[in-house]
Structure 1
Amino acid sequence: MTTTVAVFGSCNMDLVAYVGTAPKRGETVLGREFHTVPGGKGANQALAAAKAGAAVRMIGAVGEDDFGAEIRAVLQKSGVDVRGLRTVPGRSGTAHIVVDDEGGNSIVVVPAANAALDALADGDEDLIAGADSLLLQLENPFSGVAAAAAAGRRNGVRVVLTPAPAAPLSADLLSKVDLLVPNEHEAAVLAGAEDPHRALAALLELVPEVVITLGARGSLYGDRTGTWVEVPSFPVDAVDTTAAGDTFVGVLATALGEGAEVPEAMRLASAGAAVSVQRAGASSSMPTRAEISALLAAGH
């Protein structure tokens, strides 16, 4: 069964430098490679869901520059519906990423065109209303995220929020979220607790379902019925962890929309993330459903 996923979120061009060790403040280091790769948490999640088998609708904004045209083309090539991707005056958003030899990264995001996504445009609610899930993140103005969440709630769509970059969230926004998917750092910021289990318990007072991604330690799920699920990660050698979390969310939403039970959906999402970290780049690293299935079939 094909599921439909709407994404309201950011579109950036990732400017990625690969180094042995990331520079400290005031330090200059030599890099060995540089790539430009379409990304942004919204576009990443849209691409991950599309490659995992979902019918995806992207609501976002790009600039009138070459980066914007390339982002649009990459989304279209992956089968993403871009009717909701508006082009606005000025530059597209950029993410300036440094990746070290351990696969870790540090990122500076310049929103640019993404700042225009501060409200729903004509037709956006129709794109959301026909979806099974709506994926949201926090790289766009909160007013736009809140408006999209409200549209999702009005139309009975599962609202999935990735609270990144980490920031305080209003009670009104949280009241419209069905599933919150923070990483360990974001969960600690929102819950005021470093321990993931304590953070999960605190977050369940705010939203009905939570999945906390724990990097190499896997992921942790809980809901208000008292169900708790822990799924380990797949042991792989990480090359670049950029967008691993977005891959996880895109695959998770696809699997849940197809009717998978939570543990199976988390396992598929973990497998997707495991494939992605073995490749360089954000959107360029995301696996197809066949590649995810191949990892699972390999006995992992």
Structure 2
Amino acid sequence: MNSATEPRATNAVVIVGSANIDQVLRVARIPSPGETVMSAGLSIARGGKGQNQAVAAARAGASTVLIAAIGDDEFGRRTRDGLADDGVDLTLLRTVAAPTGTALIAVDDNGENTIIVEAGANSHLTGLTEADILALTHADALILQLEIPLETVEAAASAAHAGGTTVILNAAPIRDLPRELLDDVDILVVNEHEAAYLAGSGSVSDLARAVIVTLGAEGAVLHQRGSADISVPAPKVAAVDATGAGDTFCGALAASLAEGVGLENALRFAVAAASLSVQHPGAVPSIPRRAAIDHALSTGNRQP
């Protein structure tokens, strides 16, 4: 990355976040409490919000750096090899004395899912190094989520904001957030449930400078202080699996913004990418590449 006196990197996205291995079970329906259902199959693939978003940004054309923690185990090696294949810069990927994070995911016949995450190595992603801070302050965009320690999220947001990097926070899994963190955020990405939780009785637009609320099959809406809301509908597609769609959205959004695209057009690019991802199973396996996103935008958001 650049030294403190060098110019900002071109089309660069940094992600500080989680890296997991997903174990996905296909079920006819999500079980109710106390109910047992049979699975139609098990698949194992890379996941975790940080890894998903890094892959999405890289496949969308951004120069991408992932700051994350994995274990010295088979899942960790699988994660590192896969990220390298996707062209993600792994210079700042840490190997720690804890197992690689895992997620148990049930996906029903309608493409809906439930997810249980064991943080593992992700909980050891603490204490940003000088190299970490240098990377995120020289990037065009930083993406953060909440599957790593909150103090790490706060430190990264603060350093990036001070350095003039666009800070994107995907507030998931949802939790209470300090006002100081939100003040460092340029773009807050939440779903309807997360937006309602954070806003309480107040206005969603007061949460950050720009707030994007993702609406699943309905697309997304952008709220900006002092401006009219902008809604971007999603195309009608046959959804197979929604796992990782929100992360695909965030990675594609950051990649588009890093190219200097305006927020509204970046939003359309992100909606197109997410709409493509739900048409295939898995988190990382379903993330589209740039050519497919461009084709979808030019042909009504359908894959070639």
Common fold by TM > 0.5: yes
1:110 equivalent among 96, 99, 118: 118
In the alignment, the residues of structure 1 paired with residue 298 and residue 144 of structure 2 have an alpha-carbon distance, to the nearest angstrom, of 31
Q: Which runs of 4+ in 1 moved over 6 A?
A: none
Match of 1:291 in 2: 292
Q: Secondary structure at the match of 2:91?
A: strand
In the alignment, the residues of structure 2 paired with residue 125 and residue 154 of structure 1 have an alpha-carbon distance, to the nearest angstrom, of 11
Aligned-pair CA distance for 1:2 = 5.6
Alignment partner of 1:247 is 2:255: no
In the alignment, the residues of structure 2 paired with residue 260 and residue 153 of structure 1 have an alpha-carbon distance, to the nearest angstrom, of 19
Aligned-pair CA distance for 1:203 = 3.0
Q: Look up the equivalent residue of 2:271 and give its one-letter code.
A: S
Match of 1:256 in 2: 257
Once the two structures are superposed, residues 123-156 of structure 1 have per-residue CA deviations (whole angstroms, 9 ceiling, x without a partner) of 1111112210000000001011111111101211
Match of 1:52 in 2: 60
Change (3 A) 1:126 1:248: same
In the alignment, the residues of structure 1 paired with residue 281 and residue 127 of structure 2 have an alpha-carbon distance, to the nearest angstrom, of 33
Pairing 1:208-287 to 2, within 5 Å after superposition? 208-287=209-288
Alignment partner of 1:16 is 2:50: no
Which segment drifts farther, 118-127 or 166-175? 118-127
Aligned-pair CA distance for 1:227 = 3.5
Aligned-pair CA distance for 1:214 = 0.5
In the alignment, the residues of structure 1 paired with residue 228 and residue 70 of structure 2 have an alpha-carbon distance, to the nearest angstrom, of 40
Aligned-pair CA distance for 1:48 = 0.3
Q: Secondary structure at the match of 1:83?
A: coil
Q: Secondary structure at the match of 1:221?
A: strand
Aligned-pair CA distance for 1:90 = 2.1
Aligned-pair CA distance for 1:279 = 0.4
Match of 1:93 in 2: 101
Change (3 A) 1:108 1:153: same
In the alignment, the residues of structure 1 paired with residue 110 and residue 200 of structure 2 have an alpha-carbon distance, to the nearest angstrom, of 29
Q: Secondary structure at the match of 1:160?
A: strand
Aligned-pair CA distance for 1:259 = 1.8
Q: Is the 8 A contact 1:118 1:142 kept in 2?
A: no
Q: Is the 8 A contact 2:56 2:287 kept in 1?
A: yes
Once the two structures are superposed, residues 78-99 of structure 1 have per-residue CA deviations (whole angstroms, 9 ceiling, x without a partner) of 1100111100012010111000
Pairing 1:177-188 to 2, within 5 Å after superposition? 177-188=185-196
Where does the alignment leave 5 or more consecutive residues of structure 1 unmatched?
Answer: 194-198
Match of 1:27 in 2: 35
Q: Look up the equivalent residue of 1:252 and give its one-letter code.
A: L
Q: Is the 8 A contact 1:47 1:286 kept in 2?
A: yes
Q: Is the 8 A contact 1:217 1:233 kept in 2?
A: yes
Q: Is the 8 A contact 1:160 1:178 kept in 2?
A: yes
Alignment partner of 1:119 is 2:120: no
In the alignment, the residues of structure 1 paired with residue 226 and residue 140 of structure 2 have an alpha-carbon distance, to the nearest angstrom, of 22
Q: CA RMSD in A?
A: 1.4
Aligned-pair CA distance for 1:15 = 0.7
In the alignment, the residues of structure 2 paired with residue 93 and residue 121 of structure 1 have an alpha-carbon distance, to the nearest angstrom, of 21
Aligned-pair CA distance for 1:29 = 1.3
Q: Is the 8 A contact 2:104 2:115 kept in 1?
A: yes
In the alignment, the residues of structure 1 paired with residue 117 and residue 73 of structure 2 have an alpha-carbon distance, to the nearest angstrom, of 17
Q: Is the 8 A contact 1:118 1:145 kept in 2?
A: no
Which segment drifts farther, 130-139 or 202-211? 202-211
Aligned-pair CA distance for 1:119 = 2.4
Q: Secondary structure at the match of 2:90?
A: strand
Match of 2:6 in 1: none
Q: Secondary structure at the match of 1:120?
A: coil
In the alignment, the residues of structure 1 paired with residue 66 and residue 293 of structure 2 have an alpha-carbon distance, to the nearest angstrom, of 23
Give identity over the alignment, percent: 46
In the alignment, the residues of structure 2 paired with residue 206 and residue 20 of structure 1 have an alpha-carbon distance, to the nearest angstrom, of 38
1:138 equivalent among 141, 146, 158: 146
In the alignment, the residues of structure 2 paired with residue 278 and residue 140 of structure 1 have an alpha-carbon distance, to the nearest angstrom, of 28
Q: Look up the equivalent residue of 1:297 and give its one-letter code.
A: S
Which segment drifts farther, 282-291 or 258-267? 258-267
Alignment partner of 1:67 is 2:68: no
In the alignment, the residues of structure 2 paired with residue 157 and residue 299 of structure 1 have an alpha-carbon distance, to the nearest angstrom, of 32
Match of 2:177 in 1: 169
